[in-house]
Chain A
Amino acid sequence: MSKTGFAGNKGDKDRSDCFVELELASSGGIRVALKSKVKFLYGDSIEALCNEVLAFFDVKHAVVTLEDKGALPFVIAARLEAAIKRVIRTEKEFLPALLTENQYETARDRHRFSRLYLPGNTPSLMINAGVHKPDAVILDLEDAVAIDRKSEARFLVRNTLRALDFMGAERMVRINQLPAGLNDLDYIIPHHVNVVLIPKCENAHQIHEVNNHILAIHNRLNVRSTVWLMPIVESALGIVNVFQIAGAADNVVAVAIGLEDYTADLGVSRTIEGTESLFARSMVVNACKAAGVQPIDSVFSDVGDMEGLQKNVMQSKALGFEGMGCIHPRQIKIIRDGFAPADQEINKAKRIVCAFDEATRKGLGVVSLGTKMIDAPVVKREQRTIDLAISLGKLDTNWKDTFNAEVQA
């Protein structure tokens, strides 16, 4: 192995990150050269952290150069560990404390309207992600991380899962395409990840591979945690096999479609109208509904075009999708509000559900609202709208009391 290891970022625009260079030496002890914009406040604690990490890995003689741009301690630790593991071979892991706030599991059927993608090697974008209240965050180890940074990103994502509070968002990680992605699991499964996104999924076998690997990790550590899967289909073959994928295992909760890769696979351009992907999108929606999982639409990549996004969300919802990826926090609100039932829809649902109650009370076989007959499946659909509105806080649990009072008045 080389004698010099490095990790992290030090570009002009990099913030809340650091760059670590470590050179093993044969004598002289530990020498830390710290250049930091926060040295006057945290210089001593940064040096103490460096010494603690180096001691943990039994590094006794080394020169460490740390160029810091306000990195939080868990970031510094991840960078230093990544640099160390370029020069020494060890199974040990320096883990920051797992926040109690991060030890939650998520329900299978929670809504997943807005999921914010966060590049897995860019701490500055992660730190405030939770305050924007996405339904989920996706720490991305795949396309958002350069090939030569894959290794250091794993340490950062691992530490982030443990030490950064995402304020109740579902914590997702997009692993790399299999088989490389299987190794990513070792860095995330023990650290309370809620959902694993499997990119470029093409068959059920890949789901089983991921599950087998998770099981092996669980057995090795003698722990059990609920880990949901969200395969992403983004090829012609994946689309053809999407029902098989959606139903491959009990822990698949959703299937997402990735249109950039899919249109590339077809050899066509991706358009705003999306005619070229209508078949694929309908296929995903239909397969997911058949398998009882959530269909999730592709991201909208123009972060400046809010009107285009809104239109896209409306089309997506009309096709039957139940959520979309976000690549910028500004997209969250539009996506969440778009997929959430509108006030009009909620009002209609209220009237229909109450009419159904009324008919049941009177022992009538037929539900009607005004002159219109209401079929049973319609009632079922409207009840789902009501449940969703309640879970989003748009409707009170006791809404029937006030609604009936209003109607009587």
Chain B
Amino acid sequence: MSKTAKLVVNAIGRAVPTEVNGKPVIPYKGVGKHKPEGRKYGPRIASCADFPEDGNKLVQSLRQALIKSGLKDGMTISTHHHFRNGDLIAVQIFDIAKELGIKNLVWFPSASFECHAPLTKYLEDGTIHHIEGSMNGQLGRFTSEGKMKGTGVLRSHGGRYQAVQDGEVEIDIAVIAAPAADFFGNANGVDGPAACGLLGFALADSQYADKVIVVTDNLVPFPCVPWQIQGNYVDYVVKVDQVGIPSKIVSGTTEITRSPDRLLLAEMTARFCEHAGIIKDGFSFQAGAGGTALSIGIYFAEMLKAKGMKARFARGGSNKYLVSMLQEGLVDYILDGQTFDLDGVKSMRENPNHVNTSPFTSYNYHGKGNFASMLDVVILGATEVDLNFNANVVTHSDGLLLHGIGGWQNCLFAKCTILPVPLFRDRIPVIRDEVTTLCGPGELIDVIVTERGIAINPLRTDLIERVRDSGLPVKTIHQLKEEAEKICGVPAKQKFEKEIVAVVKWVDGTVLDTIYKVSS
């Protein structure tokens, strides 16, 4: 497609294309406004007659499995990111594709990490046409500079499940790297040298892909239990020496922050929750994996202990801090999407109250409800927030792609969404007239906590009322913006090229915003 396609203005005022990578797309219509009719995407019917009766689906190598799966030009290849920066499989897939002379593949990961930076060479030589997933680090820079052949598509974890389920993305070959598997293809994330806890991000891939390959370095005799991935969906199983680097798999931010500024944000956020009446017996919460979010969990634990209360459930990413809350009885259940450290993995393996979830249960917007909207409070990060509380999480203020969306968009549906952010980062103000990239509609974002004051969305008169006499420094978002500009100066408006490098999808598959090439 032409990268300067026809644009229309969507329901939140952003100019978006009506066609991406040659396929028509629907502009964002508003929260809860787009309800597609029709039926879900259906994968091909398989027959046991085509599979060995003894259940043994082992093939010699990943290369052979890919060839048997019919790898050819233009296919969509999916991988999951449970191995985070320790993933050894995704790059191998494209090494093989390159050797086979395959072109124009679409990589559809649930997230990308710095370890995937070698893929830039395949984006350059045309082995990969574009990425639909997240573009971080070097891949983000490459995309932002307009070097990718196709247009990147950014989706939330829930949006990824939705896109697969609704048939927006048809996965030709799913490669599911697994810490433990049997020859039938049953697989899990709790056992083995590359233990990562669970494999929830690969659920949609196993259910809907045309061909499914399970790759493991820990082949166990049938049955592999628990079977987080069911072998009945799997075509081929490959045994390799190593699927992931353990130390990098569990290297997520697992220490609480020592930054005094971030600790202050965490403390203010926890105090806000207390005064707003959110912390009560049986409440539920989700905090991300960053240092600030971890610290908030610790403040929650202290408050619960002091009040003799407990939370009913916490949504993970889990880590040792959340696990210790579970062990101390401060929370009944962890409903976990990914485990960030070995304590999380061990707890998921051994504690029945530490439950693995998937983007289907937690986040999928085209389902009969999901867990995210049931949460009493969720705490998330952001790079920018505008005066209407719209927020950005994928680009820097300079327009460079920085993060994937992760579960961020999906979590906005919680009963109270709080973004603790510094008022400015090395002179770059966080609260802006307009966000560089709009990833979350302001109507779903309730509270912005900064070190210099807390802004509550005017739509949340209930929250405003509840913290009125709390002594917390409540200000308007306009006041916060003025305060930042008084310190930093009024920022100039950024300039971008006209060329589109990526689009941001909303949880329902509509196009929320457009990301442009950065000026060199």
User: CB within 8 Å of B: which residues of A?
Assistant: 15-16, 37-38, 40-45, 69-73, 124, 127-128, 131-132, 165, 328-330
Q: Which 10 A-B pairs have the closest CB atoms?
A: A70-B426, A329-B260, A41-B491, A70-B427, A131-B451, A38-B427, A40-B398, A128-B261, A15-B426, A16-B426
Assess the A73–B489 pair: CB atoms within 8 A. Answer: yes
Least Cβ–Cβ distance between A82 and chain B, in angstroms: 19
Q: B263 on the interface (CB 8 Å rule)?
A: yes
Assess the A72–B264 pair: CB atoms within 8 A. Answer: no
A36→B451 CA distance, assembly (Å): 25
Q: B45 on the interface (CB 8 Å rule)?
A: no
Residues in A whose Cβ lies below 8 Å from that of B488: 42, 72
Number of A-B contacts defined by CB within 8 Å: 56
Residues in B whose Cβ lies below 8 Å from that of A124: 426
Least Cβ–Cβ distance between A153 and chain B, in angstroms: 20
Contact string, B479-505, partner A, CB cutoff 8 A, digits 1/0? Answer: 000000001110110110000000000
Assess the A132–B427 pair: CB atoms within 8 A. Answer: no
Within 8 A of A (CB), among B422-459: 425-428, 451-452
Residues in A whose Cβ lies below 8 Å from that of B451: 128, 131
Contact string, B252-263, partner A, CB cutoff 8 A, digits 1/0? Answer: 000000101101
A15→B428 CA distance, assembly (Å): 12
Known contacts A72-B487, A128-B261, A40 near B426 by CB under 8 Å: no
Least Cβ–Cβ distance between B127 and chain A, in angstroms: 33
Closest A residue to B487 by CB, please name it: A72
Q: B230 on the interface (CB 8 Å rule)?
A: no
Residues in A whose Cβ lies below 8 Å from that of B491: 41-42
A40→B398 CA distance, assembly (Å): 7
A131→B452 CA distance, assembly (Å): 7
Known contacts A131-B261, A131-B264, A72 near B492 by CB under 8 Å: no
Of A38, A40, A69, A330, which contacts B260 at CB under 8 A?
A330
Least Cβ–Cβ distance between A49 and chain B, in angstroms: 9
A87→B428 CA distance, assembly (Å): 32
Q: B324 on the interface (CB 8 Å rule)?
A: no
Least Cβ–Cβ distance between A301 and chain B, in angstroms: 16
New A-B pairs, 15, CB < 8 Å, besides A41-B492, A128-B451: A16-B426, A16-B427, A40-B397, A40-B398, A40-B494, A42-B427, A42-B491, A69-B426, A73-B489, A128-B261, A165-B487, A328-B260, A329-B260, A330-B258, A330-B263
A389→B299 CA distance, assembly (Å): 26
Contact string, B405-435, partner A, CB cutoff 8 A, digits 1/0? Answer: 0000000000000000000011110000000
Of A37, A40, A165, A329, which contacts B492 at CB under 8 A?
A40
Residues in B whose Cβ lies below 8 Å from that of A165: 487
User: CB within 8 Å of A: which residues of B?
Assistant: 258, 260-261, 263-264, 397-398, 425-428, 451-452, 487-489, 491-492, 494-495
Assess the A41–B487 pair: CB atoms within 8 A. Answer: no
Closest B residue to A73 by CB, please name it: B489
Closest A residue to B450 by CB, please name it: A131
Assess the A132–B264 pair: CB atoms within 8 A. Answer: yes
Residues in A whose Cβ lies below 8 Å from that of B263: 330
A328→B425 CA distance, assembly (Å): 20
A329→B262 CA distance, assembly (Å): 11
Least Cβ–Cβ distance between A126 and chain B, in angstroms: 12
Q: Which of B397, B425, B451, B489 has the most CB of A within 10 A?
A: B489
A329→B489 CA distance, assembly (Å): 26
Residues in A whose Cβ lies below 8 Å from that of B492: 40-45
Assess the B425–A70 pair: CB atoms within 8 A. Answer: yes
Least Cβ–Cβ distance between B440 and chain A, in angstroms: 22
Least Cβ–Cβ distance between A354 and chain B, in angstroms: 27
Least Cβ–Cβ distance between B258 and chain A, in angstroms: 8
A44→B263 CA distance, assembly (Å): 34
Assess the B427–A71 pair: CB atoms within 8 A. Answer: yes
Closest B residue to A38 by CB, please name it: B427
Residues in A whose Cβ lies below 8 Å from that of B495: 40
Of B261, B428, B487, which contacts A38 at CB under 8 A?
B428
Q: Which of A72, A127, A131 has the most CB of B within 10 A?
A: A131
Assess the A41–B426 pair: CB atoms within 8 A. Answer: no
Assess the A45–B425 pair: CB atoms within 8 A. Answer: no
Residues in A whose Cβ lies below 8 Å from that of B428: 38, 41, 70
Closest B residue to A69 by CB, please name it: B426
Known contacts A42-B492, A72-B488, A131-B451, A37 near B260 by CB under 8 Å: no
Least Cβ–Cβ distance between B515 and chain A, in angstroms: 15
A38→B489 CA distance, assembly (Å): 11
Residues in B whose Cβ lies below 8 Å from that of A72: 427, 487-488
Residues in B whose Cβ lies below 8 Å from that of A15: 426
Closest A residue to B428 by CB, please name it: A38
